A and B are shown apart, each in its own frame.
Chain A
Amino acid sequence: MSPEVERDLVRRARSGSLDAFDALMRAHQDRLYRFVLVRGASSADAQDIVQDTFLAAWRYLDGYRERWRFSTWLYTIARRQASGRRMDHAELPESLVDPGEGPDQAASAGERRENIWPVARKLLPSDWFGVLWLYYAEDRKTGEIARILGRSAAWVKVTLHRSRKRLAELIDAADWLPEEVVSK
């Protein structure tokens, strides 16, 4: 969805158009759902959080400032909605199954490498993983990440650097260590 179309939908939704807001929800629901899932919510919790996020967005649409992307605003609301819930799943949920790693595809591409994100989820602290995810998976700038997570931009930059470094070190170590050593 282009920024112009999105701005128009927001403007119409502000004037009370539920159709426009429905279009906005359709455009953002999957990524928002995925964002909540990777933060450690169960599938049921993630659905509740997405629902509450959209309701809050509708209610406070007048408060949205267009200096941020609409999705950034949604992520910020979702992060706040999620703060009161348990988000302690250390592994990425099964609903995030890699579409390219189904049994057929895996059989046809036996050499396909492991997805790095479940590894990152296990290896990194939750906050660090959140920064890494927003930067690379959601393509957010550091200022936007700071806004979403309620942190300073400096913290985001430092955390991003540390996350990359630690992940690279651990992956390099896993590459030459025997499997049984890594699993310990």
Chain B
Amino acid sequence: MNRQDLENRLRADAERLGASCPPHVRHRVAERIRHGEGRPSHRRIGVPALAGAFAATVFAFVSVWMLWQPSGVERHDARTVDLNAAPVVAKSDRMLASREAALENEWQLLERDLRILRDHVTATFDKNPNS
């Protein structure tokens, strides 16, 4: 059987196969549609849409909150110590107090070292004025 014969036969024989859908199927569909099991007239807001709207709202709130936050460096006139110049960053009064105390301590140690060095130099020149 060549292709043309086969195709002709497939088409012709398909026409000979008939099926009639019982009318009660269509009536049942119409009945169910009339009883409200039908297409919604308005698009319902589904769960994904609600979740998306909620996420967008949260994102917006967080963005605004972050924009209103003060910058990380709280004191632009923060005290610096020589080469250890670094802004004093404190996120709370408590951290700020401890950091100021640490800097004060470092400052005192540095002053002591300088005094020792000065005394040492002075003593050296006093002992040997020609050097």
- A contact residues vs B (CB 8 Å cutoff): 16, 18, 21-22, 25-26, 29-30, 32-34, 37-38, 47, 50-51, 54-55, 58-62, 92, 95-96, 98-101, 115-117, 120, 132-133, 136-137, 164, 167-168, 171-172, 175
Inter-chain contact A58/B13, CB cutoff 8 Å: no
Interface size on B, residues (CB 8 A): 30
CA distance A133 to B26 in the complex (A): 24
Question: Of the candidates B10, B30, B40, which one forms a contact with A116 in the assembled complex, judged by CB atoms under 8 Å apart?
Answer: B10
With A115-B16, A116-B10: A21-B33 Cβ-Cβ less than 8 Å: yes
Q: Which residues between 34 and 66 of chain B lie within 8 Å of chain A, taking CB atoms?
A: 34, 37-41
Q: Does B9 contact A (CB under 8 A)?
A: yes
Q: Does B127 contact A (CB under 8 A)?
A: no
With A16-B41, A168-B6: A54-B29 Cβ-Cβ less than 8 Å: yes
CA distance A16 to B38 in the complex (A): 10
The interface residues of chain B lying within 8 Å CB-to-CB of A22 are: 26, 30
CA distance A34 to B15 in the complex (A): 11
Q: Does B21 contact A (CB under 8 A)?
A: yes
Q: What's the minimum C-beta distance from A93 to chain B, rounded to whole angstroms?
A: 8
Inter-chain contact B1/A26, CB cutoff 8 Å: no
With A29-B21, A47-B22, A96-B19: A55-B6 Cβ-Cβ less than 8 Å: no
CA distance A168 to B3 in the complex (A): 8
The interface residues of chain B lying within 8 Å CB-to-CB of A175 are: 1
CA distance A101 to B17 in the complex (A): 10
The interface residues of chain A lying within 8 Å CB-to-CB of B1 are: 168, 171-172, 175
Inter-chain contact B26/A59, CB cutoff 8 Å: no
Q: What's the minimum C-beta distance from A108 to chain B, rounded to whole angstroms?
A: 15
With A32-B21, A136-B10, A136-B11: A58-B29 Cβ-Cβ less than 8 Å: yes
CA distance A133 to B11 in the complex (A): 9
With A116-B10, A137-B10, A171-B1: A101-B16 Cβ-Cβ less than 8 Å: yes
Q: Does B32 contact A (CB under 8 A)?
A: yes
Inter-chain contact A30/B20, CB cutoff 8 Å: yes
Q: What's the minimum C-beta distance from A51 to chain B, rounded to whole angstroms?
A: 5
Inter-chain contact A58/B25, CB cutoff 8 Å: no
CA distance A30 to B25 in the complex (A): 11
With A136-B10, A168-B1: A25-B17 Cβ-Cβ less than 8 Å: no
15 more contacts with CB within 8 A, not counting A29-B26, A30-B20, A116-B9, are A18-B30, A18-B33, A25-B26, A33-B25, A51-B25, A55-B37, A58-B39, A59-B38, A96-B18, A96-B19, A99-B18, A115-B17, A117-B17, A137-B14, A175-B1
